[in-house]
């Protein structure tokens, strides 16, 4: 695949990417990490390929321009699961007239064999993403036993139509974040790494398909009303995680987010399938597990950093969620 990027000021960059075509059909995992510096910004990418799957994730920050012109031609047939972890913007496709918005904490699934158009990013804002690409052949095999929505999506692909799973992006759930972090932090090697990443990619696909089915099945009376309410729910989540040590009360959080308390509670449950403080507790414990697995942090230090009132309180919560004490994780 050849990718050409133009910044509108006469500066072009062309990447002849043969990485995934060289490795996507190989039986073992190949991984490559790269840092790019351009006049218009910087990017860091991790690319992983194996047995019909191509994973790419990283971050990008633009310095001198907002709009980039992309040409991605001779693109091999891939179905993309896209997760925006931070940042926002829009892609405008001149080939089919489509517009694809991306925003922090949202995801969707796309089929777009070729792309020529504009990427409009927020200047000086870091854009972080995680993508899993399946070869079309492999995806169609997976979709055969999938949900009704996934099968309809597969039919569009079989007919060669540019399409996306959901008309509107959906919020990234806690389980999705955990699955993504597991893949980013995978320390397995050889055949075990292949099996681990394969299973996690399929798990992520299942989570995405199930969320789409759940969204279709909800009646309007149970939905958060309008994009403004959804934005407020997402803002509340970000604020909560930024104040993890001393979180606000539910009433305070509702005022800060600009939404009434009832909508905050109902909307949070709808969007993240968890209560406000249930989500916060899961997030804190997942962060604690990752810190302990690194092996260089004392249990008391982790408990203090995450705002637990005591090591005993932390240990009890950790054992309840993971089935082992924090000390066992470090062994």
Q: Give residue limits of the domains in the chain.
A: 2-217, 221-329
CA angle centred on 96, ends 90 and 99, rounded to 5°: 20
At 240, phi and psi to the nearest 5?
-60, -45
E runs forming strands in the chain? 2-6, 12-16, 30-38, 41-50, 53-62, 67-73, 78-86, 88-93, 99-103, 106-111, 115-121, 127-135, 163-164, 170-171
CB–CB of 103/32 below 8 Å? no
Contact 113, 162 (CB under 8 A): yes
DSSP 213-230: HHHHHS-GGGS--HHHHH
pLDDT number for residue 327: 85
User: pTM value?
Assistant: 0.71
**Would you state the pLDDT for residue 221?**
46
Under 8 Å between Cβ of 2 and 74: yes
Termini Cα distance of the chain: 44
Residues 306-314: contacts with CB within 8 Å, 24+ apart?
306/244, 306/245, 307/244, 307/245, 307/246, 307/247, 308/284, 314/288
Q: Residue 245 has what DSSP assignment?
A: S
- The rounded distance, in Å, linking the Cα atoms of 26 and 22 is 8
Q: Which residues, including other chains, have CB under 8 Å from residue 204's CB and lie 6 or more apart? A: 81, 132, 176, 179, 180
Tell the CATH topology of 2-217. Answer: Jelly Rolls (2.60.120)
| pLDDT score recorded for residue 184 | 94
Q: Does the domain at residues 221-329 carry the CATH identifier 1.10.10.60? A: yes
Q: CA separation (Å) from 15 to 5, 20, 73, 90? A: 8, 13, 11, 22
Burial status of residue 65 (CB atoms within 10 A of its CB: 0-12, 13-18, 19 or more): middle
Judged by DSSP in three states, 244 sits in: coil
Q: What local confidence, expressed as pLDDT, does residue 128 receive?
A: 92
Query: In angstroms, what CA-CA distances link 301 with 58, 243, 297, 311?
Result: 29, 18, 7, 9
- The reported pLDDT for the residue numbered 313 is 87
| Per-residue tens of pLDDT for the chain, all 331 residues | 556 776 766 556 666 667 878 888 888 999 999 998 877 788 899 999 999 999 999 998 887 666 777 777 655 679 999 999 988 888 887 766 677 888 888 999 999 877 777 888 777 778 899 999 999 999 999 999 888 999 999 999 998 888 899 988 999 988 899 999 999 999 999 999 999 999 999 999 999 999 998 888 764 445 566 778 888 998 999 999 899 888 999 899 999 999 988 889 888 888 887 889 888 988 888 888 888 887 778 899 999 888 888 888 888 888 888 888 888 875 4
Q: What contacts 163, CB < 8 A, 6 or more positions away?
A: 110, 111, 153, 156, 157
């Amino acid at each position: 695949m050849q990718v050409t990027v133009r910044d509108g000021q006469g500066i072009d960059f062309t990447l002849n990417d043969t990485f995934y075509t060289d490795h996507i059909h190989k039986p073992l995992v190949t991984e490559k990490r790269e840092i790019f510096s351009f006049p218009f910004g910087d990017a860091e990418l991790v690319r992983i390929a194996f047995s019909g799957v191509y994973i790419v994730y990283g971050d990008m920050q633009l310095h001198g321009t907002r709009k980039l012109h992309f040409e991605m031609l001779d693109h091999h047939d891939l179905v993309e699961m896209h997760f925006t972890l931070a940042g926002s913007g829009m892609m405008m496709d001149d080939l089919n007239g489509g517009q694809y918005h991306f925003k922090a904490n949202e995801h969707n699934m796309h089929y777009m064999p070729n792309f020529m158009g504009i990427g409009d990013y927020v200047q000086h804002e870091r854009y972080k993403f995680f993508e899993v690409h399946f070869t079309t052949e492999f995806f169609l095999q997976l979709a055969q036993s999938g949900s009704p929505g996934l099968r309809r999506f597969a039919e569009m692909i079989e007919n060669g139509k540019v399409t996306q799973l959901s008309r509107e992006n959906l919020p990234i759930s806690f389980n999705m974040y955990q699955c993504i972090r597991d893949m980013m932090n995978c320390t397995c090697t050889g055949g075990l790494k292949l099996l681990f990443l394969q299973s996690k990619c399929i798990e992520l696909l299942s989570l995405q398909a199930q969320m789409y089915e759940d969204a279709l099945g909800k009646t309007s009376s149970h939905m958060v009303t309008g994009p403004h309410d959804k934005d407020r729910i997402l803002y509340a989540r970000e604020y909560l995680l930024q104040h993890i040590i001393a979180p606000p009360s539910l009433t305070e959080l509702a005022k800060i987010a600009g939404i009434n308390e009832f909508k905050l509670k109902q909307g949070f449950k709808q969007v993240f399938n968890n209560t406000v403080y249930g989500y916060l507790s899961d997030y804190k414990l997942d962060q604690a597990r990752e810190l302990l697995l690194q092996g260089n942090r004392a249990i008391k230090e982790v408990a203090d950093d995450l705002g637990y009132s005591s090591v005993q309180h932390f240990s009890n919560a950790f054992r309840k969620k993971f089935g082992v004490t924090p000390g066992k994780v470090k062994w």
